[in-house]
Structure 1
């Protein structure tokens, strides 16, 4: 059995699998963050340039997709072959695995917070 847990702000996410290793990351999307500076510091100038070519919301979503994928791969402990992305207003979730998974990430309970 493989599992991965992540949290961001009030959100907690968990993935479990009996058929393949999994890595999961969830992040609250903060449009006020300097995503270009963070991207350059974490991923290098090339990744920051790719994000700089995007406008506004696409840049922010692109950064969080990149960041969550990076974190999910670290938790997986290796390079993943398959990534599933789930974007909700204000939230990014990435589930990575070494094998294709039969289910998509889904919000089961928002505990009263808007999904």
Structure 2
């Protein structure tokens, strides 16, 4: 192959990788939106967790009071999840590194919501 052919092949590979990454990201955002809808449409569940729930493009935020939980869609199609324990003058953020799929997100959310449940 000539330099020109190698160059064009490399550009094609790069464009294909970018398209795949964008597709994975969009798929992750769609899954996050589906999760958001499932929470918002279940009024009984929403009342039981006493949480404000917001979706901002690629970011799902759940605030049940004692913690702020943030789930973000990643370019790779995975998810990044962290939570912040609210304490006066000492907010502590914890990243959950073992959360990759939407099923992982749901399991981690269930655990966090149960752990930090308000008992009003």
TM-score after normalising by structure 2: 0.29
Structure with bigger strand share is 1
TM-score after normalising by structure 1: 0.30
- Return the structure number with greater relative CO, CA threshold 8 A, min gap 6: 1
